[in-house]
């Protein structure tokens, strides 16, 4: 690392980004903070304005913070995608899309406007670059590892990014926050989607699309044989694996196993129908090792808190793969990401398009 490098650090107001910035200052970097605003209900403003944010109470760790408004892009690229995916019968993951299309876009805009060199964030993941090849790895703290959310970053993004917290645990970060006199040192973490009040996506959809509940209410719930066993309140308000809220009396528990947006229909059945041996994924991004041209063994995670399972990745085309699991996976959900690991390394990922039921 060049100690004279100018780094743009994404500042969220939380403890992780604050500590990341302080660590870079301690290492001799010139640091400028960038707070990206996404909920101003206005168009993008691709110019920087000074922010009054102060990260640390220690003079040695004071640095300028600017604000960049990307609310227009956020509405188009994240919120609209979120709504459209639910209307298509999928379950989106807006945070991973936001990382690629909003956070890194904004940070690199900051690099351009402030003539900086690289960007940094408070994500718990690691980047290693050797001979112009950059690889993405899990964070040291397995409980906080956020590599799953960064699979969409390309080689160019990774080569210009620093992740100062990748080798630290959350406990260590809290201790550093106190040493740096970070104002957010004791701030609690939020697991909510930033634009969904109370993390209630159903209420958010209902308020964002007036009349959606009335328009879709009364669609059929069918069993594995196609028999109508009930009626639902609107397919976007249900998710794969959901058990509660079906309103159906049955001798065995029933789970949602498929959403049919085209016919406003929900498929439900026993828990065994949630088992999948394979899935198809698209919108692929490959890191480090590049796109495979023949079947390759890996391990896959199908949601953030999922346990990785051994699998075989079978290329189907330029941008599509089939993933064959060694053991059946439960509740594979179209719209979520499947991320591939080789030990601690993220080798790529994609968006789940189809869950293929276990024939047994």
Among this protein's residues, is 134 annotated catalytic?
no
**Annotated catalytic residue: which of 22, 134, 194, 311?**
194
Whether the CB-CB separation of 309 and 278 falls below 8 Å is answered with no
Closest among 10, 9, 8, 16 to 184, alpha carbons compared: 16
Q: How far apart are CA 11 and CA 193, in angstroms?
A: 17
Among this protein's residues, is 297 annotated catalytic?
no
Cα 235 versus chain centre, distance: 23
Residues forming beta bridges with residue 178, ordered by sequence position: none
Q: How far apart are CA 260 and CA 248, in angstroms?
A: 19
Q: How far apart are CA 128 and CA 158, in angstroms?
A: 9
**Annotated catalytic residue: which of 22, 98, 276, 311?**
98
DSSP 34-86: EEEE--SSS--EEEEEE-----BSSGGG---EEEEE-HHHHIIIIIHHHHHHH
Q: How far apart are CA 13 and CA 15, in angstroms?
A: 7
Q: Which residues participate in catalysis according to the annotation? A: 98, 194
């Amino acid at each position: 690392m060049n100690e004279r490098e100018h780094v743009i650090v994404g500042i969220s107001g939380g403890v992780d980004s604050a500590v990341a910035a302080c660590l870079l200052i301690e290492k001799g970097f010139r640091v400028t903070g960038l707070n990206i605003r996404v909920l101003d209900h206005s168009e993008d403003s691709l110019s920087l304005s000074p922010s009054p944010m102060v990260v640390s109470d220690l003079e040695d760790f004071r640095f300028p913070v600017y604000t960049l408004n990307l609310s227009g892009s956020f509405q188009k690229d994240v919120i609209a995608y979120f709504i459209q995916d639910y209307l298509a019968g999928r379950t989106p993951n807006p945070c991973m899309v936001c990382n690629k299309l909003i956070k890194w876009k904004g940070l690199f805009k900051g690099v351009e406007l402030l003539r900086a060199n690289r960007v940094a964030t408070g994500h718990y993941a690691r980047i290693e670059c050797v001979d112009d090849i950059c690889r993405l790895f899990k964070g040291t703290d397995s409980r906080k590892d956020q590599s799953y959310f960064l699979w969409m970053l390309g080689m160019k993004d990774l080569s210009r990014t620093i992740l100062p917290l990748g080798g630290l645990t959350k406990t260590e970060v809290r201790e550093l926050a106190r040493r740096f006199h970070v104002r957010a040192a004791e701030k609690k973490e939020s697991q909510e989607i930033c634009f969904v009040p109370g993390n209630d996506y159903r209420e958010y959809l209902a308020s964002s699309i007036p009349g959606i509940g009335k328009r879709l209410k009364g669609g059929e719930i069918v069993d594995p044989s196609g028999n109508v066993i009930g009626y639902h309140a609107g397919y976007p308000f249900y998710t794969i694996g959901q058990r509660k809220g079906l309103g159906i009396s049955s001798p065995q528990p029933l789970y949602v196993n498929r959403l049919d947006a085209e016919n406003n229909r929900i498929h439900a059945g026993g828990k065994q129908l949630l088992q999948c041996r394979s899935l198809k994924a698209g919108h692929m991004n490959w890191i480090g090792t590049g796109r495979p041209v023949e079947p390759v063994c890996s391990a896959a995670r199908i949601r953030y808190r999922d346990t990785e399972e051994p699998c075989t990745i079978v290329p189907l085309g330029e941008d599509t793969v089939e993933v064959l699991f060694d053991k059946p996976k439960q509740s594979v959900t179209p719209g979520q990401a499947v991320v591939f690991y080789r030990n601690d390394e993220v080798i790529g990922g994609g968006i789940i398009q189809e869950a293929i039921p276990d024939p047994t």
